[in-house]
Amino acid sequence: MIEINNLCFSYAKEGFRLKISEFQIDAGEKVAIIGPSGAGKTTLLKIIAGIIRPESGTVHVDGSELHAMDDAARRNFRIARIGFVFQELELLEYLNVFDNIVHTYRINPVLSLDGSVRERLRRLASEVGLGSKLGRMPSELSQGERQRTAVCRALLTGPGLILADEATGNLDPANKAHILDLLFLTAQQGKASLLAVTHDHELLHRFDRVVDFQSLVG
């Protein structure tokens, strides 16, 4: 599902440089990445999602060469094939919960919004305890509810790859387990791969593999 070779990326003004010789995730595999803050874990997820482009090296996702695509092609690939739970959540404050979750469908022609999508949205929202809050604005939500909204948005397309950047970071223990259950169930149902950056070490035993980020970089 993911194959990275000889990856190099840098933020020159910040003195940050990321180098990864090799990293691979198999189709359907559920992998957790751990490591210190500021090491580059979020940057790696954004490269895998095609949000940013490496300076050199190859990035293959589900057989597609993301490193060789232009900006528009990478964006369309990400929208159609990847579900990303951002650490910053990136909810739109002027849209209610329902419209935040479905927003991607309304602004991108590569996705088609129909009754089945709306039904899936309501089912996802109900599963995370947001079924009665679809009309609320983000400002009316707790941090945990905002986090769950972002998770629903990422899973709505039934992606083949799920990227989660601290998806359980703002949740209480019960909701952490619940969200992880949902991520795992969605991955299993869609035969998707899951790559999660997390500091919740008590959840690591549930993943197929745990990768220490420090072992990747060089």
Q: How far apart (Å, rounded) are the C-alpha atoms in residues 218 and 210?
A: 18
pLDDT of residue 181: 87
- Indicate the average pLDDT of the chain: 91
Please check whether residue 195 is in contact with residue 45, taking contact to mean a CB–CB distance below 8 angstroms.
Answer: yes
Beta strand 64-65 pairing with 30-34: unpaired
Q: What would the two tokens of residue 140 be?
A: 């009316």
- Write down the pLDDT at residue 149: 93
The pTM for the full model equals 0.91
- Give the CA radius of gyration of the chain: 17
Using pLDDT thresholds of 50, 70 and 90, give the confidence band for residue 197. Answer: very high
Q: pLDDT tier at 89 (50, 70, 90 boundaries)? A: confident
Q: Cα(18)–Cα(7) distance, rounded to whole angstroms?
A: 8
pLDDT score of 114: 94
pLDDT value of residue 190: 83
Q: What is the pLDDT of residue 91?
A: 93
pLDDT at 134 over 90: yes
For 146-165, how does the pLDDT look when each residue is reduced to its tens digit (9 = 90+)?
988 999 999 999 999 999 99
Res 124: pLDDT: 92
Show the domains of the chain with their CATH numbers: 2-216 (3.40.50.300)
Percent of the chain at pLDDT exceeding 70: 100
Are the beta carbons of 147 and 86 closer than 8 angstroms? no
Length of the chain: 218
Distances 216 to 12, 44, 191, 192 between C-alpha atoms, Å: 21, 11, 26, 23
Averaged pLDDT, 82-110 = 92
Cα–Cα dist 195/190, whole Å: 15
The predicted pLDDT at position 13 comes to 72
By DSSP bridging, strand 82-85 and strand 161-165 are: parallel
- Return the DSSP state at 135: T
User: What's the pLDDT at 6?
Assistant: 96
Give the pLDDT score at 189. 84
- 206 to each of 45, 72, 104, 177, 184, how far by Cα in Å? 20, 36, 30, 10, 9
